[in-house]
Structures are given as structure tokens and as C-alpha cells.
Chains A and B, each alone.
Chain A
Amino acid sequence: MHDHQQCIELFEKLSEYLDGELDQAVCETIEAHLQECRPCQVCLNTLKQTVTICRQMQADRVPEDFSRRLRKMILQYADSL
């Protein structure tokens, strides 16, 4: 029988689990639950992919005209010191 309460307890810790921030005993409890709970596996997999996509996102490029203005302003500021 699937214990939904256990899912909820695990659900709260999924990010810490992905980030390696839990101690071994808690990880083992989570892994045992995941073995028998398909919905929690799905939840973990989709959360993991979400985090990976965020981390792989390309950083926005600095517009060249702004970069030029910024450097000019910084140089003027440095000269004024």
C-alpha cells in the first residue's frame, strides 16, 4: 500500500537530496522509498532535469554599446580618484 504521508515528507527534502545536503541515513530512507514509489521517482526526475536546465542556461550577453560606455565611465571614474 502506498503511503502518501511518506511521499509528503520526502517531497520536502528532494532539493536537499539533489544537492547532496542530507546525511546518509536520510538519503537511504529516501532511496528505499523511491524504489517502491513511482510518482516520487517521476517527481525527482523532473525536478532534477529542471535544475539541470537552469544550470545550463546561457548567460545573457552584455550589449556591446553598453560595455563600451561602462568601460569609458569606469576609466573616467578611476582617473578622477
Chain B
Amino acid sequence: MTRPNSIQKKNDRDSELIEAIQGGRSDLFVELVRRYERPLYNFGMKMCGKRQDAEDLVQDTLLNVFKYLKGFRHETKFKNWLYRIATSACLKKRRKSKFAPDRELSLEEFLPPEEAKVEQDTPSWATLPLDQVLNEELGRKLSDAILELPEKYRLVLVLRDIEGFSTEESAQILNLTAANIKVRLHRARLFLKDQLKTYFQDG
């Protein structure tokens, strides 16, 4: 019978590298840095918004990975385990700095108004090709809007829509149910949708 760990290893693009490091090739740590410094830094910037905090997050995460890598048993993909450590580093940092206040986002605040008041046509920004919409200014606006999300929603949105994890993977990383991930993601997206709408209307 195939053991679950063997299945995980087979689907994990990092498993060979991790096994080599676990087997004593500590010189290959640098390859791990090469693979993950940018995604981790991006995760840090989206979660914390400040260069120094993002750098601390990358450094703390990688040091913890190296410290605990021997105990990694391939029960999940390495990348999921890595982001679990990054999330925990991020939450630790959260307690030391000022972030958007924690609050619940209720579905009601995003409900479309009665039909008479609602837009009857899709606004142009939602139909334009992406290369005509995406620019540095929008990137900044979106990053600011992400930082305004309460942390528990921000974490889910960044993992799902920025880092590209699936619902199940995000649930595993954050130790939440899939249903919980879906609820938080939907509210976070609705929040950003409202922020983008204001951006395009004002612009």
C-alpha cells in the first residue's frame, strides 16, 4: 500500500532538494533561499507593508525552516509547511506593530443595494483588458487596500489570490476549515472590489 507521505513527496517539487538537505547537504540551503526569497518577501510586503518587516519575516522564516527541517516528515508539501512558519512569524510580528485593527467584515456591508440604485452596466474597468488596467498606481492602491483588510481576512486573501494556494492548502496552513477559508476569502474580495470601484470612479 502507498503511504500518504510517498504521495506527498511525489507531488512536491521541493522533495528532492529537501531530502538532500536533510541528508546532510547543508550547502543546498542557498538553493532553497533562491527558490523562496521572492515569494516570501512578497508575502511579507503584502502582509506587513514595510520593507524592514518583510525582510525580518523572510529571515526569521528561513532560519526557522533550517532549524526544524530535520523534523519535516513530508506529511504536507514543503511549500505549505514553509508558509505555515511564515504565517506564524507574521503573527508574532503583528503583536509588536500597528496593523489594521481586527474587526469582522460582515456580508451585509457589501450587499448590492436595491435594484433601482445599483449599476445596471458593468463599469468599464471590469471589462477592459488587464494590460490596460494594471499599472503601478493601481498596484499601490491594491497593496494599500490589502493592508486595510483586518489581518484574518488579509492572510486568507494573500494566500489564496496572491500566492496561489488552494482552499484546502490555505486551510492546512492556517489551521482552519475549508468553509472558514471560503467565507473569509469572499468577504476580503468584496472589500477589495469596493476599494477598486472607488479608485476607478475617482480616477
Closest beta carbon of chain A to B45's beta carbon, Å? 4
| Contact call B107/A11, Cβ cutoff below 8 A | yes
A47 touches B193 (CB 8 A): yes
Tell me, yes or no, whether A51 is within 8 Å of chain B by CB: yes
B171-194 contact mask (Cβ, 8 Å, vs A): 1 or 0: 000000000001001100110110
| B119, CB-defined interface residue at 8 Å | yes
Q: Choose from A21, A46, A60, A67 the contact partner of B193 (Cβ within 8 Å).
A: A46
Q: Are A53 and B62 in contact (CB under 8 A)?
A: no
Contacting pair A61 B107 (CB below 8 A):
no
In Å, the complex CA distance between A71 and B142 comes to 31
Residues of chain B within 8 A (CB-CB) of A45 are 122, 126-127
Whether the pair A11, B42 counts as a contact (CB closer than 8 A) is no
- In angstroms, Cα B182 to Cα A19, docked, is 10
Tell whether, in the assembled complex, residue B192 and residue A40 are in contact, meaning their CB atoms are under 8 Å apart.
no
CA distance A57 to B143 in the complex (A): 9
Nearest chain A CB to B69's CB is how many angstroms away? Answer: 11
Interface pair B42/A74, CB less than 8 Å apart: no
What is the size category of the interface that chain B forms with chain A? 35 or more
A4 to chain B, nearest CB (A): 7
Residues of A near B14 (CB, < 8 A) are none
Q: How many residues of A contact B (CB 8 A)?
A: 47
B112 touches A2 (CB 8 A): no
List chain A residues, Cβ under 8 A from B185. Answer: 15
Contact at A51–B161, with CB atoms within 8 Å? Answer: yes
Binary interface profile of B, 18-33, with partner A (CB < 8 Å = 1, else 0)?
Answer: 0000000011011001
Given known A-B contacts A39-B115, A57-B139, A60-B45, A21 and B121 have beta carbons under 8 A apart: no
Shortest Cβ distance from B25 into A: residue: A78
Report B-chain residues with C-beta under 8 Å of the C-beta of A50.
Answer: 189, 192-193, 196
| Pairwise interchain contact B186-A12, C-beta atoms closer than 8 A | yes
Please give the residue numbers on chain B whose beta carbons come within 8 Å of chain A beta carbons, in ascending order. Answer: 26-27, 29-30, 33, 37-39, 41-42, 45-46, 51, 54-55, 58-59, 62-63, 66, 107, 111-112, 114-115, 118-123, 125-127, 130, 133-134, 138-139, 142-143, 157, 161-162, 164, 167, 182, 185-186, 189-190, 192-193, 196-197
The list of the 9 closest CB pairs from A to B, nearest first, reads A15-B186, A59-B42, A49-B126, A78-B26, A39-B118, A54-B161, A45-B122, A60-B45, A50-B193
